[in-house]
Amino acid sequence: MKWSGRFEGYNWLALRRDLIAGLIVGVVAIPLAMSFAIASGVKPQYGIYTTIVAGFLISLFGGSKFQIGGPTGAFVPILLGIVLQFGFEKLLLAGIMAGVILVLMGIFRLGVLVQFIPRPVTIGFTSGIAVIIFSGQIANFMGLREMKSHEYFWLNMKEIAVHLPTWNMYSILTAVFCLAILLWLPRRFPNIPASLIGLLCSSIAASWLFNGKVATIGSTYGAIPSTLPTLTLPHVTLDTIIQLLPAAFVIAMLGGIESLLSAVVADGMTGSRHHSNRELIGQGIANIVAPLFGGIPATGAIARTATNIKNGAASPVSGMVHGVVVLLVLVLLAPLASSIPLASMAPILMVVAWNMSERKEFLHILRTKSSDSIILVVTFLLTVFTNLTTAVEVGLVLAVLIFMKRMRDMLTVTKVLPDPSMKNQKVKPYMVKAGHDCPQISIYSIEGPLFFGAADPFERSILDTMHLHPRIVLLRMGRVPFIDATGEAILSKIVRHCHNSGVIVLISGLRHQPRMYLSKTGLDEQIGAEHFFDHTGEAIAFGLSQLNYNKCLGCEHFAFRECAKLALPSHSQHVMEKAQCD
């Protein structure tokens, strides 16, 4: 998608659609921005700053026409952990580092790599994040006092249990009222932003009925400034960069996954096509600039992007308008936002957590009772009980190990012989049995990738039968799609062993990638060009011409149709005399 293609055919009608969509999604984004900021352990205005700066830049530089960027729930656990461990200043630096990583990923065209993260891993950590977000709002929902935030889930649960006696009836009533609106309004009026209406109605009710009895943004975090903070460069040292690099990498990976997933959803809703590498660059630029104005890490937001599309967005202008709308609200209405009860914001995040929990997908994978279920559960539990970094790392490693085992199990090496009752005398493993196995020609069918994880069983399968001292070993490799350095090394070892024992190695049906690899390593020359065949029948015919016919005399195995003649003394004598004449 070219840059100009994002605005191709743009006109006043499209601008009108973008203005309407941008206005609506901007209004929707405000309560979410503050809620995600609070859940991440920072002041609510930082979520607003993120929406303004990052939301504008993601739309301006990103690779999707309809993407809406800003703070999201996916970042909550990792951002909260950074704030609790390192402080807010280092969170901003980690965000900038993550932005640099995203830009580099886009420049080096690594957008495709996020597609290789297995679905059980993404479902596992997404569901784990949902649990953390939901549980993190229990205190605000119930109005618990003197609560301390901890990095780990079980410590936060212990904190809630200890402070349960401090529950506030007025906070609970405010939260329940907001929750009722969030659940009822979308069913009756789906086009009205339920989170905004719930926030406004519950805030007004609390101010009128419970004035001074419910904790608000102002009483907890102080008044929200009505302007953007001035540009501030963070203090950077090499030690700090090294310290924050793992967290920055996880932020970048999550941001890349979330933004590209959101872009794919937008493509499905509109029939458009996003540019994944440009999207990563746009996300990176936004995450580099936003922290300079106090913004926390941002990414593409699926729900807000869908809202943008449903309200008629025509181009990235709607996303830019959404950022400007939030800026105007900040300038004009910041003092009013300070009176919003925390109990009104808690149900919003709880509903977000419920919607992002992927519960149906979670149960679907769990019902398979397969290795994918193990990956899912391990990733989920590690996300909840340790941290997101550990969960993603372990989940990916576990997925890779299980994948390699599956590939290893796919490799089969079977000894075969022709079945004379079948058309073209196809080779089958059931033809090899006691009293029916050629002593001079051993034919093996190899199926599956010949890589480092499967090389050992391949070697054992071939060499374990070499005690029979065949004259010919034919390897049927038409179903070997791939070979790597380890597989080539094992095949080379088998070839050397055969040559040292005077055994001729033939290969049939070799596919393109293995053939090119053997050519690069020179193994094809060691085997001999004349020993490669396109079809098994040709290889068998060549092998029969290389037999020691003295050993065929009196043989009763009759493994090949030619054996009946070869076993006759007169035929063997004739063949030998002809060979001497030649």
Domain co-membership, 391 together with 429: no
pLDDT at residue number 366: 95
Q: Is residue 7 domain-resident?
A: no
Domain co-membership, 332 together with 429: no
Choose one of 380, 400, 420: the last residue of a domain. Answer: 400
Which helix (H) or strand (E) covers residue 476, if one does? strand 472-479
Choose one of 400, 434, 450: the last residue of a domain. Answer: 400
Domain co-membership, 259 together with 299: yes
CA 296-302-307 angle, to 5 degrees, is 110
pLDDT at residue number 5: 59
For 178-205, letters b (16+ CB in 10 Å) and e give bbebbeebeeeeeeebbbbbbbbbbbeb
Paired strand residues for 428: 417
CATH of the domain at 518: 3.30.750.24
Residue type, 481: P
Q: Is residue 8 domain-resident?
A: no
Low-confidence ranges of the chain (pLDDT < 50): 1-4, 571-572, 575, 578-580
Paired strand residues for 472: 441, 504
Domain count, the chain: 2
pLDDT in tens, 447-468: 999 999 888 889 988 887 777 7
- Decide if 505 contacts 531 (C-beta within 8 A): yes
Enter the tokens of residue 241.
């960069």
pLDDT at residue number 229: 86
* Orientation of helix 371-385 relative to helix 388-410, angle to 10°: 170
Torsion angle, CA of 130/133/134/139, rounded to 10 degrees? 170
Domain co-membership, 460 together with 440: yes
pLDDT in tens, 394-432: 999 999 999 998 888 899 999 999 998 887 788 999 999
Range of the domain at 517: 411-581
Question: Residue 333: CA atoms inside 13 Å, Cβ hemisphere, count?
Answer: 13
pLDDT at residue number 237: 92
Tell me the average pLDDT of the chain.
Answer: 90
Provide CB contacts within 8 A for 422, sequence distance 6+: 428
